[in-house]
Amino acid sequence: MRVLYFDCYSGVSGDMILAALLDLGLDRQKWLKALKGLAAAGYQVAFARTTRQGIMAQQVKIELAETQPERHLRQIEEIIKDSRLPVGVKEKSKAIFCCLAEAEAKVHGCSIAEVHFHEVGALDAIVDVVGACLALEMLGVDEIYSSPIGVGQGFATAAHGVMPIPPPATLEILRGVPLRFSGIETELATPTGAAILKVLAKVEAPPDHFVLERIGYGAGSKVIPELPNVLRAILLESEGEQEYDQALLLETNIDDMNPEICPHVIARLLEAGAMDAYLIPIIMKKGRPGVLLSALCAPELKDRILDIIYRETTTLGVRLMRVERMKLPRKEITVDTEFGPIRGKEARWKDQVRRTPEFEDCRRIAKEKGVPLAQVYEIFHRSLSKE
């Protein structure tokens, strides 16, 4: 399994992400050849090596042949849809631009369809986003993590006039994300860079049991006296054939609750982000029949899960245990089928590969097409064999 960690002490931008990924040793010519599948012309990719306070880094510039028009989300989605790119790259790229559009719509008080992309709708931003998603796929990255994101302060001139730093759209994108306020008088985190990380990365430290494989440095366009303006991309590889992470197990015994409430509690816990939630029948004191309610979640979701258990059940106490999980290496896949794209998971153990479709995708398609659910599963596996 491969894990990528972005060290964003100096903020983040689309071109810094792309440069850092290419600096990890990705075959540049293969990447350029694959990028030709993008349904857009009028740009050139220029590469340069530069230093930022003594650190050698890759710099990538997208040079445009002509002035770019303002684009709406629909126009960008059409460009991505018409491209000859892997399905997963298309899906991730569209999700990133949708994140950008939602933030712009919130800031400007309009609908997503009405949003005019200015800087982030230009072809160079499209190449940054699509190129980064393509590089991640070519590097075989399974999971992405990030440090808290560095942001600056002050003011900058943009298409709408003078804007405070961090730009309103950037802050909107980074809601719920840990930030590091540096106090430096310049923009450090751009909307495009923020959106890429918001959609693709977990802003937390990567799990243990990984070893350092490669380091890439992507230089920003600015020379900042206070710090080396580079983004570090740290590629990690699992030591063995299994993955490890940490989770929190919450358990409680209940013998005085209406059993009709139990399915509702499980549904609420899963909706809140629990990795798993389940009930086991038990015999409690005085011979009373009861249930053992268990919920497995990421440690940062503890308060949310506890709130649901206390609000929705009759329990007076919960046991909390930190557990270490061992998992088979896996990654998300998207398979292009005659019914459209179907997401799934690919797991590996030694020389065995197991690929399973996402149940919710299959159920939705079965309902839309009016076909048996088993037929959608069959189409998924048949399409896999053609790849």
- Please state the length of the chain: 387
Which of the four pLDDT bands, split at 50, 70 and 90, describes residue 8? very high
Give the integer Cα–Cα distance in Å for 172 and 106: 8
Q: Does the pLDDT of residue 4 top 80, yes or no?
A: yes
Predicted pLDDT of residue 246: 80
Under CATH, what is the fold of the domain 244-327?
A: Alpha-Beta Plaits (3.30.70)
- Average pLDDT estimate for 302-326: 94
Q: What is the DSSP letter of 37?
A: T
Query: For the chain, where are the E strands, in sequence order?
Result: 2-7, 43-52, 55-64, 143-146, 149-151, 154-158, 161-165, 179-181, 210-219, 230-238, 243-254, 276-283, 289-297, 319-327, 330-337, 340-349, 352-357
Q: Does the pLDDT of residue 141 top 90, yes or no?
A: yes
Predicted pLDDT of residue 119: 60
Domains in the chain: boundaries: 2-238, 244-327, 330-386
Within 13 A of 188's CA, how many CA atoms are on the CB side?
25
Q: Does the pLDDT of residue 121 top 70, yes or no?
A: no
Q: Does the pLDDT of residue 250 top 80, yes or no?
A: yes
Give the integer Cα–Cα distance in Å for 386 and 131: 26
Give the integer Cα–Cα distance in Å for 21 and 26: 7
Give the pTM.
0.70
pLDDT digits (tens, 9 = 90+) for 326-367: 888 778 899 999 999 999 999 888 788 899 999 999 999 999
Predicted pLDDT of residue 238: 75
- Average pLDDT estimate for 365-378: 95
pLDDT digits (tens, 9 = 90+) for 72-110: 899 999 999 999 999 999 999 999 999 999 999 999 899
- Average pLDDT estimate for 168-182: 94
- Residue linked to tokens 């430290």: 205
Centroid of chain to Cα 225: 31
Predicted pLDDT of residue 239: 66
10 Å Cβ neighbour count for 277? 22
Which of the four pLDDT bands, split at 50, 70 and 90, describes residue 70? confident
Predicted pLDDT of residue 210: 83
